[in-house]
């Protein structure tokens, strides 16, 4: 059976982008078709300035939302990265295979390092080596596929390169993984700035719909979304990004096609109203289930404990084999 690994960073409250671009696919498709692992990658949250108590809180919240979105711990393995030592153990070996130049070429490193410097902070070494830890996350489980948004494709390419290089140098040890992108909603954009991704790590903004936003907050955010000048509803990502984003969100929520939906509207107001309704309806069951799960924190802890045990059982033989391959 195909093995799938995917992760989510506890660096902020989860957004509609996380749900439509990743979580929904995990819950409705991946956990049924594959041997799937879903990991809350808390070590990755330490690569930039953070409040440790918040990281812990957000990890638990992300895990609760994954369950609320329909991940079934009987079908898939759901766990927290720092609960499984194998990630860090393998990351070190891969650091000995990766090069400094490779790391400095990573687009996300360049962007995030520039952001940290602009804020007057120093850049943590772990921000540079982050893609190596991500490679370890993937290779430790022998994952065949890594479903990610476009922003992560370069990192999965690196994981491939490191797997091939390690195998050549020390003997066959790792499965060479490949990235897969979701067909719809690969990129939900910020409602106030539709050329940037709706990212949870950004500051709380009116352009980001959080999964736990109250319905009236969702409605306000969608109604205030920036649209482009003009009044005709057309689907054109290049010249009408604000409108295209709303149409894509509506399509992702209702199962329609953005271009066909565009043809059925003759004004922005009705499109925004319908999009707000559709988003509220998609989030309703998730919010309800989240509330129920919050009433039973013991259940979540048990799920994460069992998930970590299962994950450890899968990762340990591979990581041990990597140490043996080097002769350690
Ligand atoms: P973030 O960028 O919010 O920090 P993560 O790196 O934790 O997200 O990603 C978790 C998953 O959610 C990844 O598969 C990522 O590609 C997806 N994702 C995040 N933001 C969006 C978005 N705006 N649109 C579509 N998918 C997204």
- The pLDDT assigned to 152 comes to 87
Q: How far is the CA of 172 from the centre of ligand 1 (A)?
A: 32
Q: What does the pLDDT look like over 215-233, one tens digit per residue?
A: 999 999 999 999 988 778 9
CA–CA gap between residue 150 and residue 143 (Å, rounded): 18
Q: Tell me, what's the pLDDT at 151?
A: 78
Distance 169 CA to ligand 1 centre (A): 34
> Any idea what the Cα angle at residue 11 is, between residues 10 and 12, rounded to 5°?
100
| Rounded CA separation 279/185 (Å) | 13
- Cα(40) to ligand 1 centroid in Å equals 12
Q: Which of 36-40, 197-201, 246-250 has the lowest mean pLDDT?
A: 197-201
Using pLDDT thresholds of 50, 70 and 90, give the confidence band for residue 199: confident
Mean pLDDT of 26-51: 95
The angle formed by the CA atoms of residues 294, 86 and 37, to the nearest 5 degrees, is 50
What radius of gyration, in Å, describes the C-alpha atoms of the chain? Answer: 20
pLDDT of res. 185: 58
Report residue 82's pLDDT band, with 50, 70 and 90 as the boundaries.
very high
Q: Would you say the CB of residue 59 lies under 6 angstroms from ligand 1?
A: no
Q: Which of 15, 13, 8 is nearest to 191 (CA)?
A: 15
pTM reported for the whole predicted model: 0.93
Q: How confident is the model at residue 65 (pLDDT cuts 50, 70, 90)?
A: very high
The residue among 199 and 38 whose pLDDT is bigger is 38
Indicate whether residue 242 lines ligand 1 (CB < 6 A): no
- Show the domains of the chain with their CATH numbers: 3-181+297-326 (3.40.50.620), 215-291 (1.10.240.10)
Residue 197 CB–ligand 1 contact under 6 Å: yes
Mean pLDDT of 300-315: 98
Is the CB–ligand 1 distance for residue 45 below 6 Å? no
Give residue 183's pLDDT band: very low, low, confident or very high (50, 70, 90): low
Return mean pLDDT, the chain: 94
CA distance 93 to 179: 22
Which are the catalytic amino acids? 112, 197, 200
List Cα–Cα distances, 131 to 4, 81, 104, 111, in angstroms.
Answer: 18, 15, 11, 14
Give the Å distance between the CA of 151 and the centre of ligand 1. 8
In a mutational test of the pocket of ligand 1, which residue from 7, 22, 187, 207 has the highest number of ligand atoms less than 8 Å from its CB? 22
- Residue 203: pLDDT over 70: no
* 160 close to 131: Cβ distance less than 8 angstroms: no
């Amino acid at each position: 059976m195909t093995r799938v690994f995917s992760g989510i960073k506890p660096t902020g409250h989860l957004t509609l982008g996380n749900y439509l671009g990743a979580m929904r696919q995990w819950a409705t498709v991946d956990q049924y078709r594959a041997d799937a692992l879903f990991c809350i990658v808390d070590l990755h949250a330490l690569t930039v300035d953070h409040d440790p108590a918040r990281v812990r809180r957000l990890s638990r919240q992300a895990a609760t939302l994954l369950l609320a979105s329909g991940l079934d711990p009987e079908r898939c393995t759901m766990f927290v990265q720092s609960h499984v030592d194998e990630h860090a153990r393998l990351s070190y070996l891969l650091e000995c295979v990766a090069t400094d130049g490779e790391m400095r070429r990573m687009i996300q490193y360049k962007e995030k390092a520039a952001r940290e410097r602009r804020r007057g902070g120093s850049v943590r070494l772990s921000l540079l080596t982050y893609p190596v830890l991500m490679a370890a996350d993937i290779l430790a489980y022998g994952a065949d596929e890594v479903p990610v948004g476009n922003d992560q494709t370069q990192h999965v390419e690196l994981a491939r390169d490191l797997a091939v290089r390690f195998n050549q140098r020390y003997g066959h040890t790792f499965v060479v993984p490949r990235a897969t992108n979701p067909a719809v909603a690969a990129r939900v954009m910020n409602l106030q700035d539709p050329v940037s991704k709706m990212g949870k790590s950004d500051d709380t903004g009116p352009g980001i719909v959080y999964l736990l936003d109250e319905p009236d907050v969702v409605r306000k955010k969608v109604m205030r979304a920036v649209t482009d000048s003009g009044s005709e509803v057309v689907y054109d990502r290049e010249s009408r990004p604000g409108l295209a984003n709303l149409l894509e969100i509506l399509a992702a929520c209702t199962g329609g096609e953005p271009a066909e939906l565009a043809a059925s509207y003759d004004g922005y107001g009705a499109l925004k109203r319908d999009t707000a309704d559709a988003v509220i309806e998609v989030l309703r069951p998730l919010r309800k289930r989240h509330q129920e799960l919050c009433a039973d924190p013991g259940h979540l802890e048990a799920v994460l404990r069992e998930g970590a045990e299962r994950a450890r059982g899968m990762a340990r033989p591979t990581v041990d084999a990597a140490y043996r391959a080097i002769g350690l």
